[in-house]
Amino acid sequence: MKVFVVGKGGVGKSTVCVALALILQSKDTMLVSLDPAHNISDIVKNHEVMLNFEIVEPDFEKELSIYLKKLTDEMKRESFRYLTVFNLENLLDVLRYSPGTEEHMLLENIKRYIDRRHVVFDTPPTGLFLKVLGLLDSSILWMEKLMELRQDILERKGIKEDPILTIIEKRLKEYVKLKNTLQNEAIFIGVTTEDRLSLKETERIFGFLRKKGYSVPLLVVNRAKEKKVYLEGIKHVFIPEYHDRNPFEISRKIHSLLKLEIQE
């Protein structure tokens, strides 16, 4: 099962993620934190039990540096004459603050771990996460058009093999596969509290996800004082205030509903 946990910051997304990982735990279960402010380890640290799942908290800065180092080496290997003109070391600073970089790194991490049998993603703040999903769609569209243009050029010049086209094709294939997996195999679980802002934000995320064709079957209402249905057509789980920080109690609550979801 591939699960994304979405919701406003501070509503208890990470705790719910740990709860879900506890339900799904096996040798092939992974809990991936996509939130740059990783706090999964802190939650787990408070509960001294053996966990049978892997926790991944990617360091995006480090990943970016490794990526650029690999790129620089590859360019040297290809005896790239323009290397001296484009100072790749300085490019790191440009890239770090360039629009789209953070979204790209997040998308790459989703792509990297999505094929695990059970994976739970703790998503970053709503605005950023919606941009990541938007980036997936726009990248696919952009690469399709770019590929058409490249194929036209190569046909005109009578070139049969081209490394640039191969890279674009490979990336496009990966992104289309990721989109299909997200639409057909993944589920998005919302977490909210009863306050108006959290509810509004959840409503907005669910609207966006449904529009994009993603499955949103479950809403976890954290610190619930009353059992009220906030979103029609979605199963609700109510976590009372005295359990809101305990992933074990939450997992007990969600367990039956989630099992139902797996069977469906």
Nearer to other proteins, 86 or 248 (CB): 86
Q: Answer yes or no whether residue 114 interacts with other proteins by CB under 8 A.
A: no
Q: Which of residues 66, 149, 229, 260 is near other proteins by CB under 8 A?
A: 149
AA letter at 258: L
Q: Is 82 in the site for other proteins (CB under 8 A)?
A: yes
Give the interface segment with other proteins, choosing from 97-105, 117-125, 196-204, 209-217 (CB under 8 A): 97-105
For 42, which DSSP code? H
Q: Does 75 bind other proteins (CB under 8 A)?
A: yes
Single out the residue of 28, 59, 61, 74 in contact with other proteins (rule: CB under 8 A).
Answer: 74
Rounded to a whole number of angstroms, the minimum distance from the CB of residue 150 to other proteins is 6
- By C-alpha distance, which of 7, 11, 63 is closest to 239? 11
* H/E stretch holding 255: helix 247-263
Contacts of 70 (CB under 8 A, 6+ apart): none
Residue 120 pairs in a beta bridge with: 3, 31
Supply the minimum distance, in Å, between the C-beta of residue 237 and other proteins.
Answer: 38
φ and ψ of 51, to 5 deg: -105, 135
**CB of residue 108 vs other proteins: minimum separation in angstroms?**
8
Q: Should residue 101 be labelled a site residue for other proteins when binding is judged by CB under 8 A?
A: yes
> Which of 1, 38, 80, 245 lies at the binding interface for other proteins (CB under 8 A)?
80
| Residue 38 DSSP SS3 | coil
Decide: is 152 part of the binding site for other proteins (CB under 8 A): yes
Strands (DSSP E) contained in the chain are: 2-6, 29-33, 54-56, 118-122, 186-192, 215-224, 235-240
Q: Which residues are bridge partners to 219 per DSSP?
A: 190, 236
Q: Please give the residue ranges that form the binding site for other proteins (CB under 8 A).
A: 67-68, 71, 74-75, 77-78, 80-82, 86, 91, 94-95, 98-101, 104, 108, 139, 143, 146, 149-150, 152-153, 156-157, 163-164, 167-168, 171
